Amino acid sequence: MTVRFNLSLLRKLIQFSAFLFFVYGGIVTGYYLEDKVSRALPALSCAYDFQGSDLCTLVPFQHQMDHRLGEVIAKGGNLMMGIMPTLITLGTFLLLFVVLNKAFCGWICPLGTFQEFMQLIGQKLGLQRHESLPKALVLRLRPVKWFMLLVLVFGLPLLTGMGMLNHDLGDPFCRICPSRILTTLATGETTQLTVDTANTTTLVMSLLGDFLFGLIIALALTVRQPFCRVCPMLALHAVFRKLGLLRLIKSASPRCERCGLCAKACPMDIHEIHTDMQSRNVTFEDCTLCGRCVEFCPDKDVLQLKYTVIPLFTSSPQYFKQRKKSQTQWEKKNLINGFKQLKSKTEAKAQ
């Protein structure tokens, strides 16, 4: 690939197309839930977006915990009948997931695309972007996604279905998910951007959801992928990541320990890509298979994006040099640098 056309640009084109399809594609696929493509998409495509073409798998999971499994456990019915819808949804999810693995996060997810778009704006506004968060902070954040998955996607809906919590906690993750507000706003719908005073639970959840949405917008200007780090979908992907056909493969070289450019390029700040010298499959639990680490690896064939045994994209010194150059040029062009240049030109003229 050339300087002008690189993997990041290709990814952005795919992300943009996927955003259009999953947020507005209902015009093509249909209006009703039955018309949606899979109804178990491994990315945050929201069911509240009536114009969307698919919905994220976390929606049916919560619904099934609440209305199927929870009810069966509470009433003492056939447990297999209660769990069967969840297994069917999981099967559909896995069929899709196997094809692209965690690339659903890095290449498809509308919320991921939005955060990268905000990051782009932050960069062009000249807001200093953190190449890496402190390692300690990254490590502290990692368990949050598991909490989100186990408590918000499975735990609370299950307890609601069992009659232990009120109905408003049947879909707690959806109530705080920024994708719900983002995708509905993208279609001109403001009904999800509300504070719901129906009762204490709806009030707290709506406050939390709105607050989180604002927080993510602001953080995305300066920090890379702030919500992805705590997203329960990432945790769900992590469970099945060994099954995916697309993988990040590392053939460690002695230079790896001293370099660390891959870890700096990683939007999820996965330091292990650089430090792990043993593993061959380095599709770590936080990896979104965006491929930036491969782009910024200066050594030949050390990092590879492989589809089963077929290498799709391989690190090389030539590509690295071009990519690094284009990235530097791109980052120089921002509002603050523009003002600085303008100021220096004016001063030069005055002298």
Partner 1 sequence: MYRKLLLTRQPNMSCSAAVCQPTARHQNAAVAPPTASFDNAVCRLAHGGLSFLYQSVRGFKHALDQSVARRQEWHMDVPFTDRRMEWSAPLARATTPSKGMLEALNTTYLVAGLIGVLIPACLLSLSAVAAGVDNPENSPAAEPSHDRHEAKKIALENSEGASVTLWKPDLSTQPLTIGHGGVTIPNTGIDNYHAVVAEKDWGDHKEVVIRYEYLFGRPSKQSPSKLAGAEKADFEIAPDPIPREHYRYHSQQTWGFLLRLHGRPLPDLEVTLQTTQGSQRRAITDQNGRVEFQIPDDFPNLVEGERDQRQAQFTLSSEHRQGDVTYTTQLNADYRVNPTHWQSTRLGLLVVGIGFLAGGFLGRVNRAGGRQA
- Positions in the binding site for partner 1 (CB under 8 A): 30-35, 50, 67, 71, 74, 127-128, 130, 133-134, 156, 159, 163-169, 181, 190-191, 193-208, 210-219, 221-223, 226
Report residue 145 as tokens: 């996604």
Smaller CB distance to partner 1: residue 101 or 160? 160
CB of 123 to partner 1, least distance (A): 13
CB of 134 to partner 1, least distance (A): 7
Smaller CB distance to partner 1: residue 32 or 318? 32
CB of 46 to partner 1, least distance (A): 13
CB of 231 to partner 1, least distance (A): 17
CA gap 341, 351 in Å, rounded: 15
Smaller CB distance to partner 1: residue 214 or 317? 214
CA gap 110, 303 in Å, rounded: 27
SS3 label, residue 97: helix
Select from 192, 170, 9, 291 the least CA-distant residue to 283.
Answer: 291
How many C-beta atoms surround the C-beta of residue 237 within 10 A? 27
Smaller CB distance to partner 1: residue 215 or 239? 215
CB of 307 to partner 1, least distance (A): 32
Select from 243, 248, 69 the least CA-distant residue to 154.
Answer: 69
CB of 271 to partner 1, least distance (A): 15
Smaller CB distance to partner 1: residue 130 or 345? 130
Report residue 161 as tokens: 């279905």
Select from 119, 132, 111 the least CA-distant residue to 222.
Answer: 119
Region of 108 please: left (phi>0), alpha (psi -120 to 50) or beta: alpha
Select from 137, 154, 163, 7 the least CA-distant residue to 71.
Answer: 163
Smaller CB distance to partner 1: residue 130 or 321? 130
* Radius of gyration (C-alpha) of the chain in whole angstroms: 22
The answer to whether 251 touches 280, Cβ cutoff 8 Å, is yes
Angle between helices 110-124 and 200-222 (to 10 degrees): 50
End-to-end CA distance of the chain: 45
Smaller CB distance to partner 1: residue 33 or 139? 33
CB of 246 to partner 1, least distance (A): 30
